[in-house]
Amino acid sequence: MEPFKDPKSGAIALGGAVLIVVGASFLIRTSGIIPARTLAFLSDVSGALVLIGLGVLLVIFSREGRMHLPPAGTRLYRSRNDKWIGGVLGGLGTYLGVDPVLLRIATIVLAVLGVGSIVIAYIVMWIIVPEEPLVPVGGPVPPSQAGV
């Protein structure tokens, strides 16, 4: 029997990983292990490299069949159950058929690298995208099938 896993443990692990990356970045910048000129170059191209990497991952996932376009008529909603802040990435993951943790990691990496438009896009989606309905879109379940 598998032990119970707290759903927040993934968030804690991701937070720990982000702290490790940020701490290592500060250590490398302040210690002089890597020359300042090289660090400046890496800082200048990091956003482009992350976008290229995300594009490569999208191509790979789509070819392996792990990512698919939603069926026609499917609506994008913010998730009520799978959310850390506003449910935007949980809903987007469900809509696209992608693990929301991957979307969260990509969002955090882009935000840390200074792609500030990702934060603005998240806030705009939080405002514009409706929260998923409490009752399924097809209407309420008839009482004869409610206990099934």
Residue ranges per structural domain of the chain? 10-134
Please list the pLDDT of the chain residue by residue as tens digits (148 residues): 455 455 555 666 667 777 887 788 788 778 888 888 888 887 788 777 777 877 887 788 777 776 666 777 778 888 888 777 888 888 888 887 778 888 888 888 777 776 667 788 888 888 888 888 776 655 555 556 555 5
Alpha-carbon span 81 to 8, nearest angstrom: 12
Alpha-carbon span 36 to 31, nearest angstrom: 10
- Cβ burial, residue 144 (10 Å; 0-12/13-18/19+): exposed
